[in-house]
Structure 1
């Protein structure tokens, strides 16, 4: 499982130009089941994604398809997490 931080760069003022593409990219990956959560980093620092059922190399390639990453609106920071203890409602994440 991976937590991705999408941190705004100096090019953040371009975000509105690429927002529709970014949202379509997110929707596509939610539809495939790769993304479980996406949200904003507070206060106004960028975004975050929780991804599973993907290996790091594929995730890195997938992030390059995000218009925000491709246009340097954000930089992607990937953190791999190996869940050891989980609430029973999230048991499906154990072993990701």
Structure 2
């Protein structure tokens, strides 16, 4: 499940892409609510299969990276973001 994977690698929020649009086109607000219900069920199922009892329990230990990624530099821990100066505080 993509939602579980995103949360496990540290996402604070997950986009549901076009799914809500399909639900809206099919049945309006009720369709969107149905899509959200389906996605919630899929997340619950994935968490149950992983043995995660809550969303905060999902972490990187639940994600396996293909062996090929390890030697190719494609898998690395996130780096801290660099500080960005506010526009009013730019230095010459």
TM beyond 0.5 = no
Judging by fraction of residues, say which structure has more strand.
Answer: 1
| TM-score between the two structures when normalised by the length of structure 1 | 0.31
Judging by fraction of residues, say which structure has more helix.
Answer: 2
Q: Which has the higher contact order (CA 8 A, sep 6+)?
A: 1
| TM-score between the two structures when normalised by the length of structure 2 | 0.32
